[in-house]
Amino acid sequence: MRPSRLILSTGFAVLLSLAFLLTRTDAQPNTIKQIAPGVWFREGDLEHEGHCNNIIIEMKDYLIVVDANFPSGARAAMADAKRVSSKPVKYVFDTHHHGDHAYGNAVWTQAGAMTIAYQGVADEMKRYEPARWKASEKERKDVADMKQPGPQPPQQTFTDSPHVITDGTRRVEFRFFGWAHTRGDGFVYLPQEKVLCTGDAVANGPYNFTGDGNIGNWPKVVAGALKLNVEHVLPGHGPAGGREVLVGQRAFMLELHNAVQAAIKSGKKMNDLVKSENGKQLAQLQLPDNVKNWVGPSLPDQIKDAYNEITNKKPAGDLPHQ
Ligand SMILES: [Zn+2]
Ligand SMILES: [Zn+2]
């Protein structure tokens, strides 16, 4: 059991990320920003609450919200949705199964919304739950207070990409490009507004959790997203940005994979790549400056996952883990 990994997987990158986050000047947690007419980006409070970001999309008669968040994040996003529009939330799209994106599902469905996700999200939940929910209950009051045996799965799933919702005023495409952060990674694309909501397949900052991931395939997934006509990238964590967020995210995973692969070829072992000192893990690999936005406290774990992936010839998320 690797408790720190489990904690990270449920969104509590808190302690590890704290030192870095305090140096970030562009983080604006709990703020809501209009990206295009009827499209709002809400930056979640990752540092204190473990929350993900949310996107609110206004349709003719209703709202679509991207990501359910943790239960407390769901309530915060719901309050902000009410602030920007009087229309009801009809759909909540889970970008993937992690607690900080999907554990609030029941909060939304109790309020009358329908949760929807790519089929892979429901499959991942079956794979990892309810073990992670039960671990999360011990860490988080909002999860314990739900008094559920496990997370509520998405009520509606799709397998064809894109899955389109349109009402004549706006076209919303739910898309799947393959396995990057999880086997279920769903994107939300607004072709007219050139907006792409990425979940955690693309982060704007050092927030890539690779334990359930496929590092070798990750750049291909982001390359798929890069084929779209995108101006606004709304990530699962970190501030909103433009295409450069996609380009940087793709480069980070390529650089990580290539650096670890080269080290293995030169005869290095795991202990050469990550050293332990006073209970702290220290990465012995340097990644180039152009990806430094993605390099942070998770680098030692990311190196280990890449090492295991390459030496076992299997995606990190396919190797035994909690
Ligand atoms: Zn995640
Ligand atoms: Zn997340």
Instruction: Give the residues of the chain that fall short of pLDDT 70.
Output: 1-25
| Omega within 30 of 0 (cis) for the link into 235 | no
Any idea which ligand is nearest the CA of 210? Answer: 1
Number of H helices, E strands in the chain: 13, 14
Ligand 1 centre and the CA of 262: distance in Å? 27
Q: Estimate to the nearest angstrom the gap between the alpha carbon of 287 and the chain centroid.
A: 22
Provide the pLDDT for residue 70.
Answer: 98
Ligand 2 centre and the CA of 181: distance in Å? 10
- Do the beta carbons of residue 236 and residue 67 sit within 8 Å? yes
Ligand 2 centre and the CA of 185: distance in Å? 11
- Do the beta carbons of residue 61 and residue 13 sit within 8 Å? no
The residue whose two tokens read 């997203």 is 225
Ligand 2 centre and the CA of 20: distance in Å? 17
Ligand 1 centre and the CA of 236: distance in Å? 8
Q: Estimate to the nearest angstrom the gap between the alpha carbon of 74 and the chain centroid.
A: 15
Ligand 2 centre and the CA of 203: distance in Å? 9
From residue 171, give the alpha-carbon distance in Å to each of 16, 60, 64, 241.
39, 11, 12, 21
Ligand 1 centre and the CA of 209: distance in Å? 7
Any idea which ligand is nearest the CA of 11? Answer: 2
Ligand 1 centre and the CA of 96: distance in Å? 7
Ligand 2 centre and the CA of 50: distance in Å? 8
Q: Report the sign of the C-alpha dihedral through residues 265, 179, 134, 320, in that order.
A: negative
Closest alpha carbon to 105 in 42, 46, 63, 151: 151
**Rounded CA separation 21/205 (Å):** 9
- How large is the angle between the packed helices 218-226 and 243-265, nearest 10 degrees? 160
Ligand 1 centre and the CA of 315: distance in Å? 16
The contacts of residue 54 (CB under 8 Å, 6+ apart) are 41, 42, 44, 65, 66, 67, 69, 73, 77, 80
The contacts of residue 31 (CB under 8 Å, 6+ apart) are 42, 43
**Rounded CA separation 297/300 (Å):** 7
Any idea which ligand is nearest the CA of 69? Answer: 2
Task: Compute the residue count for the chain.
Answer: 322
- Do the beta carbons of residue 50 and residue 11 sit within 8 Å? yes
Any idea which ligand is nearest the CA of 201? Answer: 1
Q: How many other C-beta atoms lie within 10 A of the C-beta of residue 288?
A: 11
Any idea which ligand is nearest the CA of 124? Answer: 1
Judged by DSSP in three states, 322 sits in coil
Q: Report the sign of the C-alpha dihedral through residues 259, 261, 265, 269, in that order.
A: positive
Closest alpha carbon to 202 in 244, 249, 238: 249
Ligand 2 centre and the CA of 15: distance in Å? 15
Provide the pLDDT for residue 292.
Answer: 98
The contacts of residue 52 (CB under 8 Å, 6+ apart) are 11, 44, 46, 67, 69, 70, 73, 100, 101, 200, 236, 237
Any idea which ligand is nearest the CA of 183? Answer: 1
Torsion of CA 6, 7, 10, 11, to 10 degrees: -140
Around ion ligand 1, residues with a beta carbon closer than 5 Å are 98, 200
Ligand 1 centre and the CA of 258: distance in Å? 23
Which H/E stretch holds residue 296? none
Ligand 2 centre and the CA of 47: distance in Å? 12
Any idea which ligand is nearest the CA of 212? Answer: 1
Ligand 1 centre and the CA of 208: distance in Å? 8
Helix extents (H) in 50-179: 71-84, 99-102, 105-110, 119-128, 131-139, 141-144
